[in-house]
Structure 1
Amino acid sequence: MRFNNVSLPELIEIVPLDKPVRAEITVPGSKSITNRALILAALSEGETELRGALWSDDTQVMVEGLRALGFEARVESDPLEACNRTITIRGLGGAIPQGGTLDAPLDLFVGNAGTAARFLTALTCLGRGIYRIHGVTRMHERPQEALFDALRELGYCIDSVNDKLPATIHGSGPKPGATCCVSIAESSQFASALLLGARVGGWRINVVGENAEESPYVAMTSQLMDGFPKRGGEFQIEPDASSASYFWAAGCIAPGGSWNPPRRLSAGGQSVTGRRLPGKQRETDLEKDFAAHSRVEVVHWPESRWQIDGQFPKFIDLTRKGRLVSRNRHLGDSILTLIALAPLTSEVMRFVDLGRLRVQECERVVALRTELTKCGAKVLEEGDTLTIYPSQLHGAEIETYHDHRMAMCFATLGLRVPGIKIRKPACVKKTFPNFFQKLAAPPPHGLGAAVRNARTGERLGMDELFAE
């Protein structure tokens, strides 16, 4: 769903849904899988076609990085999803085509994309030349030391004044038999970066600092590598479970919604239970019941179990007494969706093991507490735990901190709470540029919500809701 676009306003207001909604929503491809697949395609032999690949800030940065390194990348539109692309990468069997010199390093800009920053750092070590990797200010604040230390242990030279970006990488090719240890205490992306390059680099990697919070992402990388074509071919990227969480949540909080999880859709409209979704009901009472309840389905829900956030439907029922959700054991980024909705429930909710959220796109623990408190929520922060109490919420201007997840979580809350206004909503372009179009499009392909320019009160058209 793409039009001749104008910029999103600096401040928008989400108007709560006022009637039940029945929708079947498609969401863009997984960012985590797309950026891993791009690296694997570059290291493969021949052309690899990635279908359903996410096309957003983070993946565009990765594609541009590969092009800067000399790889051929062809990008074609996807007729089924505006924020997806078919991306074809011509791999050279492990060779990195280009590199710079000491006087003129090859420059790679990674924005605020953690996967691009970490994965390209390891990839450029396999090249023959000098590379400078840098990003936006927030990316320069995010941790890199564990990755740099592991690469140095393998025998590579990494120059950085504080073991963060910007950094200069001295590529010196594969180092068969070299061994390193890498900690995933701060991020699994360090281990994933090394694993993605290990087949070509000949490295042996020992993952240390056991961190259950991050190990599912390491497992994703290993499983993806096992199933990826090594000599060209096709690879399908599955939808992003974190992005899908907002629409599962919307179905719960819309009029006539329920905290019981909705069915998932796979290809052809078949639910995973094997029963067809409700269609035309012959009995009048069933028709009335059907119309009175909201149900938002996510089409092609991920079935591979690669994404930890694929478990989100198991945790959406926030009415269970004594509910505790862990960022270590249960969910990844979709835990933010649950945190944002927790004040709407009748039970006290505890979210634990949130330390990883502090070093992502923003300091998310503080950001969530601050913005929920603005809305009238009672939130207690103790260490890396947030305890959230049932609260009467009201509208507020939400600061997004340039964080796509903050914008989307609170926009979802705005489907229920009047007066939620989102500052700088275009930050969703990092992973989900047409998110607000999905909110506003009429059912069944959207939720039919009104999104207004908060300064003028005017309802925004579809052409104004794409984030660029």
Structure 2
Amino acid sequence: MITAMAPPRAFDARIPGSKSLTNRALLLAAAAGATSVLTAPLVSEDTLVFRDALTRLGARVESSEDGGAWRITGLGRGPVGAGRIWCADAGTAARFLPPLAATGHGDFVFEGSTQLTARPVAPLADALRRLGAEVATAPGGTLPLRVAARGLDGGRLDVDGRLSSQFLSGLLMAGPLLGSPLLVRARGLVSRPYVDMTLALMRHFGAEVAEDAPGEFTVRPTGYRAADLRIEPDASTASYFFAAAAVTGCSVTVDGLGRESLQGDVRFVDVLERTGARVLRGRRATTVTGTGVLRGGFAVDMGEISDTFMTLAAIAPLADAPITVRGIGHARLKESDRIEAVARNLRASGVRVETGPDRITVHPGSTSPARIACHRDHRIAMAFSVLNLRTGNLTLDDPGCVAKTFPGFHEELHRLFPQHPLPPPTARA
């Protein structure tokens, strides 16, 4: 007699809106004339800081009672006035908003947390100076960054894209507000999908931007027009729930995140397929189903989807052979040195790890009890929470740091996987 195998448990994960889409759309709506409505924006520390910074620059943002929609009344130009703009830990605020300020008139100072101040802004400041802006940074090319704005005329600009694609995105988004066309050539660009997202959203808000050759862009000084937008679920955040399906042998679906997504990080499911997971890509939804076995024995370049490399590295000890991730050198300049932070946490739990300037290799092995050092980095906390679904012997030293992008992360992971312990209320976001 043949006994039919029970189908895997199936869940629908409730993933909040994309931070990358929310903050870009906020800026473009604030630069447009008239009023735009963003539906299902991400409500988190980073996006609230970004939203508040735009109001300091003169835009008006109103939230619906349930927070499910934001109504932005834009400036129709660059900001006018003066002020100190607090960026907290938000790299997008520190890299997107100074170019916007430089297109206006006034004196603006951008400040941030100790963590954000350690991240470089010198390449952005240098690019703005070459466009004619008056910009000053702290010694070492960090925040605080001061912009004495009197408008920008445009022109030709070479940008080093090896550190972060956010510098290029910030400059491109300012382009339609300049006095003449902006021609930008980006060298060694990392995280290319985020630039594609920027271009798509600029066009959605009425900009005329073209890529004349690979890495060479022309932005015409057309300004922006108001437009409504529904924000997709965050693909980077979804990676933790897709990985959870792969390591627990269940099935997880994320509605609103399909093959037509604007987010490059949706390609993380391609990597999970290499580990043996089954992936179903619909037009408007993606489903990952674990098979009970995690295959290793491969190397993968995740430079274009580097926000998800930690998700793979954290679950790699569960694989049947080593996994190497490469092309991620720029991840050393994020909220933490992410390569080193992941490696140290895995070693602390007894896992063999090797690293290089732009790579990490994780060997299979059982874990011993360990306290995970999050370094105030939301992605470390979330990635190691997925590993703990199988090991059950890891704790986070800062579970509340997930508030940067997903305040309800622990509750949602616990809802789907009750073995995920809820932190004490005082330690939650």
TM-score, length basis structure 1: 0.78
1:314 offset after TM fit, Å? 0.9
Unpaired runs of 5+ residues, structure 2, are 1-7, 207-223, 276-293
- Whichever residue aligns with residue 153 of structure 1, its letter is R
Q: Which moved further from structure 2: 159-168 or 111-120?
A: 159-168
Kindly indicate whether the alpha-carbon contact (under 8 Å) linking 1:50 and 1:234 is maintained by their aligned counterparts in 2. Answer: yes
Q: What corresponds to 1:149 in structure 2?
A: 126
Q: What corresponds to 1:185 in structure 2?
A: 162
Return the alpha-carbon distance in structure 2 between the equivalents of residues 77 and 194 of structure 1.
34
Select which of 99, 119, 124 maps to 2:81.
Answer: 99
Q: What corresponds to 1:33 in structure 2?
A: 21
Q: What corresponds to 1:349 in structure 2?
A: 323
Alpha carbons of structure 1 residues 155 and 203: separation in structure 2 relative to 1, 3 Å: farther
Q: How does 1:190-229 map to 2 (within 5 A)?
A: 190-201=167-178, 202-211=180-189, 213-228=190-205
Return the alpha-carbon distance in structure 1 between the equivalents of residues 361 and 420 of structure 2.
31
Return the alpha-carbon distance in structure 2 between the equivalents of residues 422 and 313 of structure 1.
26
1:425 offset after TM fit, Å? 0.8
- Whichever residue aligns with residue 266 of structure 2, its letter is G
Alpha carbons of structure 1 residues 357 and 222: separation in structure 2 relative to 1, 3 Å: same
Alpha carbons of structure 1 residues 233 and 467: separation in structure 2 relative to 1, 3 Å: farther
* 1:232-258 alpha-carbon deviations (Å, 9 max, x no partner): 24111111101001111111112xx0x
Q: What corresponds to 2:220 in structure 1?
A: none
Unpaired runs of 5+ residues, structure 1, are 1-19, 79-83, 101-105, 258-293, 454-459
Q: How does 1:15-34 map to 2 (within 5 A)?
A: 21-34=9-22
1:448 offset after TM fit, Å? 3.0
Alpha carbons of structure 1 residues 350 and 196: separation in structure 2 relative to 1, 3 Å: same
1:381 offset after TM fit, Å? 1.2
1:467 offset after TM fit, Å? 4.0
Q: What corresponds to 2:55 in structure 1?
A: 67
**What SS does structure 2 have at the residue aligned with 1:392?**
coil
Q: Does 1:448 align with 2:418?
A: yes
Q: How does 1:452-463 map to 2 (within 5 A)?
A: 452-453=422-423
Return the alpha-carbon distance in structure 2 between the equivalents of residues 321 and 392 of structure 1.
15
Q: What corresponds to 1:332 in structure 2?
A: 306
Return the alpha-carbon distance in structure 2 between the equivalents of residues 326 and 308 of structure 1.
14
Q: Does 1:85 align with 2:79?
A: no
Return the alpha-carbon distance in structure 2 between the equivalents of residues 304 and 205 of structure 1.
29
Q: Does 1:56 align with 2:31?
A: no
- Whichever residue aligns with residue 430 of structure 1, its letter is K
Select which of 155, 165, 168 maps to 2:146.
Answer: 168
1:306 offset after TM fit, Å? 2.2
* 1:131-160 alpha-carbon deviations (Å, 9 max, x no partner): 110101121111111111111011000012
TM-score, length basis structure 2: 0.85
Report how many aligned residue pairs link the two structures.
385
Return the alpha-carbon distance in structure 1 between the equivalents of residues 65 and 268 of structure 2.
29
1:447 offset after TM fit, Å? 3.0
Q: Which has the higher contact order (CA 8 A, sep 6+)?
A: 1
**What SS does structure 2 have at the residue aligned with 1:170?**
strand
Alpha carbons of structure 1 residues 466 and 432: separation in structure 2 relative to 1, 3 Å: farther
Select which of 419, 429, 451 maps to 2:403.
Answer: 429
**What SS does structure 1 have at the residue aligned with 2:120?**
coil
1:372 offset after TM fit, Å? 0.7
Q: What corresponds to 2:136 in structure 1?
A: 159
- Whichever residue aligns with residue 94 of structure 1, its letter is R
Select which of 225, 246, 253 maps to 1:252.
Answer: 246
Alpha carbons of structure 1 residues 87 and 452: separation in structure 2 relative to 1, 3 Å: closer
Return the alpha-carbon distance in structure 2 between the equivalents of residues 427 and 198 of structure 1.
34
Return the alpha-carbon distance in structure 1 between the equivalents of residues 204 and 227 of structure 2.
12
Alpha carbons of structure 1 residues 302 and 110: separation in structure 2 relative to 1, 3 Å: farther
- Cα RMSD (Å) of the superposition? 1.9
**What SS does structure 2 have at the residue aligned with 1:53?**
coil
Q: Percent identity over the alignment?
A: 34
Kindly indicate whether the alpha-carbon contact (under 8 Å) linking 2:296 and 2:316 is maintained by their aligned counterparts in 1. Answer: no
Kindly indicate whether the alpha-carbon contact (under 8 Å) linking 2:205 and 2:226 is maintained by their aligned counterparts in 1. Answer: no
Select which of 99, 106, 111 maps to 2:88.
Answer: 111
Return the alpha-carbon distance in structure 2 between the equivalents of residues 450 and 313 of structure 1.
22
